[in-house]
Amino acid sequence: MPETLTADPAAPDLDAVLARLRTEPAPSARTVWHTLAASGTVGALYDDPAPDTRWGLDPRRLRTVLTALDTAFPLGTTLSFCVQAATALPLLRDAPPDSPAGHTAAQALAGHATLALAVTDTAAAGSDLTAMDTRIEQEGGTLVLTGGKRWIVNATTADHALVLARRRPGDHFSHFCLLLVPLTAPGVRAEPADTLWFDGAGIGSLHFDGVRLPADHLIGSPSRGLAAFARRISTERLASGLWADALTSRVLTRTHRALTRRRIAGAPQWDNAAVRQEFAAALIDQQRLRALCDTVCAPAPDGPPPAVAAALLKAAGADTLERVLTLCARLQGAEAFERGGLHQLRTEAAMFGIAGGTGHTLRDVVADHTEVLLDARRTAS
Ligand SMILES: Cc1cc2nc3c(=O)[nH]c(=O)nc-3n(C[C@H](O)[C@H](O)[C@H](O)COP(=O)(O)OP(=O)(O)OC[C@H]3O[C@@H](n4cnc5c(N)ncnc54)[C@H](O)[C@@H]3O)c2cc1C
């Protein structure tokens, strides 16, 4: 099991922070971010004295925080936190501290700013990133941003978005840059997504109509935007797998408890051999995911490249979630259809196989590295 932050002497008391948050009736994702950041919980993710350079943060602490959030809040709130802590902030922290990106990172770390990461383009399939139409043109020292992004977490609530945009035609990786865009800038419009799900995640579209930005709002080198994003999307994929472990574990625990209490034909549902067999199969899936999380979180100088380890973990997480939630919802019968019930969670959790890279994209990465993953010497070390 992931250690608790409370047991981690270098980290703030997460239980106390969450207990404080729980005194509010339904804290918004912004409030959750503000409180966790102001308490030092977010900063502690990056303050490892011996940082794991693969991820830009401490994966064990991230695991602990995601597990705690998953237990305490609806999925949309954890999603809002996850995008900021695992991708947007590590990207900003890679920029020089005296740049606008560095200042915004400091504000976000203090809980004074919230972030969105806007990559999926209005004009292209998410699996075909380099077909994007969102672009910048240079007018003297000013960058002019035009285009749109869709299905962006925190689009309607964030103060700033990190926007991936093209600076030249064509699909060469150096033709894309990453920009820091204040969402109050003239020409920016946020529109909520028309969806029944992901309450609290502020999902929506961002429209950019000739948004004028100083040249220093480029994050990092202009030709390295796609490379920087590709590097840090691995951290989001890591987070996705760790969160999937926490979520499946939580649902299996509750289902097991319910099965031992619920009686069918005079006996607890848990005593039915077929039910136990099905549950055990789901538990085996979940334990396999947990073992993979443990392996990926451990320092591994000879392990596969982080992009490969993260793709493997995210794909495993999405598949495990689908099987576990489908089974647990079925075992609950009609109750799973209640508002906020397991079928709603199952639908929302289908995003684990889409957001941050679809299943087929991840399986492509895994297939491309078959030899690396099967290398017996790595496995033995
Ligand atoms: C809840 C949620 C939150 C999100 N948050 C963000 C965010 O914060 N920022 C952001 O930038 N984006 C975000 N996204 C967008 C997400 O990254 C994209 O939806 C994702 O990249 C997939 O793009 P798409 O929806 O256009 O699907 P497509 O790329 O059109 O793919 C749809 C399906 O087509 C099939 N397919 C496509 N290509 C192939 C192929 N070559 N081979 C086989 N099958 C294929 C697959 O089954 C795939 O699942 C979010 C999405 C969701 C659902």
Q: Check whether 249 has a pLDDT greater than 60.
A: yes
**Quick one: angle between helices 29-38 and 14-22, nearest 10?**
140
The least confident of 292-301, 312-321, 326-335 is: 292-301
For the entire predicted model, the pTM comes to 0.95
Average pLDDT along the chain = 94
Nearest protein Cα to ligand 1, atom 25: 126
Q: How far is the CA of 83 from the centre of ligand 1 (A)?
A: 15
Atom of ligand 1 nearest to the CA of 125: 26
Q: How far is the CA of 73 from the centre of ligand 1 (A)?
A: 25
Confidence class for position 375, pLDDT limits 50, 70, 90: confident
> What pLDDT, on a 0 to 100 scale, did the predictor assign at position 1?
40
As for ligand 1, residues whose beta carbon falls within 6 Å of it are 83, 117-120, 125-127, 151-153, 198, 203, 351, 354-356, 358, 360
pLDDT tens digits along 137-164: 999 999 999 999 999 999 999 999 999 9
Best of 127, 162, 365 for a ligand 1 pocket test (most atoms within 8 Å of beta carbon): 127
Atom of ligand 1 nearest to the CA of 118: 11
Higher pLDDT, 244 or 12: 244
pLDDT tens digits along 21-48: 989 888 999 999 999 999 999 999 998 7
Please state the φ and ψ torsions of residue 164, each to the nearest 5 degrees: -90, 125
Which 8-state DSSP code applies to residue 243?
H
Confidence class for position 301, pLDDT limits 50, 70, 90: confident
Share above pLDDT 70 across residues of the chain, in percent, rounded to a whole number: 95
In whole angstroms, give the CA distance from residue 316 to residue 360. 12
Q: How far is the CA of 364 from the centre of ligand 1 (A)?
A: 14
200, 146 Cβ separation under 8 angstroms: no
In order of their start, the domains of the chain are 5-114 (1.10.540), 116-222 (2.40.110.10), 227-380 (1.20.140.10)
Q: Which alpha helices (H) appear in the chain, and where do they start and end?
A: 14-22, 29-38, 41-46, 59-72, 75-83, 89-93, 100-110, 225-261, 273-297, 306-332, 342-349, 359-368, 370-374, 376-380
Q: How far is the CA of 188 from the centre of ligand 1 (A)?
A: 23
